[in-house]
Amino acid sequence: METTSHRGDHHRSAEHRRRELLEAAERVVLRDGPGASMNAIAAEAGITKPILYRHFGDKDGLYRALAVRHTDALLDGLRAALDAPADRRRRVEATLDTYLAAIEARPQVYRFLMHPSEETRGDEQGFDVGRQSAPVLRRMGEELAQVIAERLDLGPGGEEQARVWGHGIVGMMHAAGDWWLRERPCSRAQLVAHLAELLWGRLAVVHDRVGAPGF
């Protein structure tokens, strides 16, 4: 009979192996971008493709695991920027810069997550871009909405407004960041300043919630 300790050790071992496979996948994505194939990822990890499928199901499953990994890290950075000890304008700018710096630092990973290859590679079907990227953006929008609702006193109907703002800000960051990454029409600092100006209407004058961390 398997003991609780043994089950725990097996779970930790499986999680460790999964993390190693995701790290191998990231290395291939950094090298190959959206065209990263399961064959190349399996070779990088030193395993056969069926073993990779056993861990993730298919390329969609691997995509979702990588998306969760990177969205978790990005959200941690966004929360830290929002809670930094600075005035609200600086925190807004730091939040925008955190997102843009993340996609600038690892553009191949960003393109893999947001613009997966639509080509058929061997027996692998390409991604439906909207179906794959939409959950990442929705999760970021909901998380940002929660932060806004917790920190700002938006009055009656504030929860609905916070959700509109959260998804709107994420949509703006995504669209502007995608365009900027492709065309580089200005510096990252300039883009941050321009986007902060766009956001700075009512956000500049609404009050923080009593007892809540500042925003």
Q: Which domains does the chain have, with CATH numbers?
A: 60-204 (1.10.357.10)
pLDDT for 175 equals: 95
Task: Identify which of 53, 60, 56 has the alpha carbon closest to the alpha carbon of residue 19.
Answer: 56
Whole-angstrom distance, CA of residue 192 vs CA of residue 117? 29
Whether residue 129 is predicted with pLDDT greater than 50 in this model: the reply is no
Whole-angstrom distance, CA of residue 173 vs CA of residue 136? 13
Per-residue CA distances from 194 to 97, 186, 188, 200, 203 (Å)? 12, 10, 10, 10, 15
Other CB atoms closer than 10 Å to residue 37's CB: what's the count? 16
Classify residue 208 by its DSSP letter. Answer: B
Amino acid making up residue 203: L
192's tokens: 């941050």
Q: Which of 62-66, 74-78, 157-161 has the lowest mean pLDDT?
A: 62-66
166's tokens: 């959260």
Q: What are phi and psi of 121, to 5 degrees?
A: -115, 100
User: Do residues 83 and 213 make contact, with C-beta atoms less than 8 angstroms apart?
Assistant: yes
Chain centroid to CA 105: 13
pLDDT, tens only, 147-177? 899 888 999 989 999 999 999 999 999 999 9
Task: Identify which of 91, 98, 92 has the alpha carbon closest to the alpha carbon of residue 75.
Answer: 98
